[in-house]
Amino acid sequence: MLTPYITNLLKKTLRASIDNKEIAGANFMVIQDGNEAFYHEDGFADIESGRPMTRDSIFRLYSMTKPITAVSIMILLERGEIDLFDPVSRYIPGFKNQLVERNGKLEPPTREVDIHDLLNMTSGLVYGGTDKAGQHTDALFQELGRRLYGETPMSTMEFANRLGQGPLSFDPGSSWQYGTSADILGAIVETVSGMRYGQFLRQEIFEPLGMKDTGFWLPEEIRSRLVRTYQDDGEGGLELYEESHLGIVHQMDRDPAFESGGAGLASTIDDAAKFTTMLINQGSLNDVQILRPRTVQYLTSAALTDWQQQGFDTWHTMCGHSYGNQMRIITDNRKAGFIGSPGEYGWDGWLGPYFSNSPQDRLTILFMIQKKDAGTMAITRKLRNIVYSTL
């Protein structure tokens, strides 16, 4: 599929982004039909020391954590331990007697938030903003940050209970807005499984798949492989960024009390490839079955109603997509702002790690970078356009 001309074009395009100081460095991988079709690394994991990017470099996933959290919920679903229409208050008491903001007033919601709402970001839980729900969430994250390195750090369950005690931004199911839903899903897994969320992920996903470098913190022996994070310096260059955003311990050097199902994991490109290949293989990898095929089909399908889709449609770069189970899904590739295929799904993270699975093409694209506020960057789309144009 990838001719020498195409591979050279990919390398040249990535190098231009590094030379232009858009990014510090990257890992890029293409997998087709279960086989690695292309891998390339370039740039720096640490500009200051000159440490180069390597294949085993470890990246903070931020929101690329969310699809892993959705898989953990699907595991419980398959086992009959949860129903997606269970109210969240059944598992997290702080969600009892919630209120919603309507026209500046706090009133009872039309119904309770349920797990289905959390999976699809239709819960009314947000990341911040000027309304009462946003202000409550902002204040909670600020407290989480203040306590992060102290003697009484906030736990996953305390965060979930405290978040539930604040108001919702809208009635559950009435709209779509990106927010903290995945953090609450992680807390639900804790309640149902009786173990810490990170322990559940290790036992049920990471160890079975051989994802040895993935977790909510890094043991000392592998910590030197963690990349440093950068941001625009306002003068066309890059400068170091080291804040513990969203309650994630930036150095990943301690077992955190708050294991964020929405943002907390770190991983390598090879570990991420094991997860994405498991999904594209309909739930299995190397004779290990994490989910059954019908469950994966449900997990990777668009889930928004017409009125919920109106909220998602305000996201300009997601034209041609819908959303479901913590992931984007292409529903009309003619409207998307890049070349793709119907049914393609995936997600990215705040610092730029990205994956996309196309079942129709048996194709996976993985791109790992370390840039503040990146999400899906122009360079991400450029690289994938080069790959998809060859199909």
292 and 216 in a common domain: yes
Q: What is d(CA 330, CA 173) in angstroms, rounded to the nearest whole number?
A: 21
380 and 245 in a common domain: yes
CA 365 to chain centre: 15
Q: What is d(CA 162, CA 144) in angstroms, rounded to the nearest whole number?
A: 11
330 and 209 in a common domain: yes
Residue 107 lies in a domain: yes
167 and 275 in a common domain: no
pLDDT at 355: 98
pLDDT at 152: 97
Matching residue, tokens 């203040």:
146
Residue 72 lies in a domain: no
Give the phi and the psi of residue 186 in degrees, each rounded to 5: -60, -40
Residue 74 lies in a domain: no
Give the count of beta carbons closer than 10 Å to the beta carbon of residue 48: 8
Matching residue, tokens 């370390």:
370
Q: What is d(CA 354, CA 385) in angstroms, rounded to the nearest whole number?
A: 14
The token duo for 351 is: 């610092």
pLDDT digits (tens, 9 = 90+) for 172-230: 999 999 999 999 999 999 999 999 999 999 999 999 999 999 999 999 999 999 999 99
CA 384 to chain centre: 19
Give the phi and the psi of residue 314 in degrees, each rounded to 5: -75, -10
Percent helix, strand and coil across the chain, each rounded to 5?
A: 35, 20, 45
Question: Could you give the number of structural domains in the chain?
Answer: 2
Domain boundary among the residues 157, 174, 195 is at 195
165 and 62 in a common domain: no
Residue 281 lies in a domain: yes
- CATH code, 237: 3.40.710.10
204 and 185 in a common domain: no
Domain boundary among the residues 143, 173, 195 is at 195
340 and 311 in a common domain: yes
97 and 14 in a common domain: no
Residue 241 lies in a domain: yes
97 and 10 in a common domain: no
pLDDT at 119: 98
Q: What is d(CA 180, CA 127) in angstroms, rounded to the nearest whole number?
A: 6
Q: Coil, strand, or helix at residue 49?
A: coil
pLDDT at 103: 87
Residue 350 lies in a domain: yes
The token duo for 231 is: 């941001």
CA 316 to chain centre: 19
**Contact 370/267 with Cβ under 8 angstroms?**
no
Give every residue of the chain whose pLDDT is below 70, as ranges: none
Q: What is d(CA 358, CA 221) in angstroms, rounded to the nearest whole number?
A: 35
The token duo for 386 is: 């080069």
258 and 118 in a common domain: no
pLDDT at 283: 98
Residue 182 lies in a domain: yes
380 and 264 in a common domain: yes
Domain that holds residue 140: 80-195
Matching residue, tokens 């470099």:
57
Domain boundary among the residues 179, 195, 211 is at 195
| pTM: predicted TM-score of the whole model, two decimal places | 0.98
Q: What is d(CA 73, CA 298) in angstroms, rounded to the nearest whole number?
A: 12
Alpha helices in 174-286 (DSSP H): 181-193, 197-201, 207-209, 269-280
How many angstroms separate the Cα of 259 from the Cα of each of 98, 208, 238, 249? Answer: 24, 20, 29, 10
The token duo for 261 is: 């199902």
pLDDT at 100: 97
Residue 357 lies in a domain: yes
pLDDT at 104: 86
pLDDT digits (tens, 9 = 90+) for 301-332: 999 999 999 999 999 999 999 999 999 999 99
260 and 116 in a common domain: no
**Contact 172/117 with Cβ under 8 angstroms?**
yes
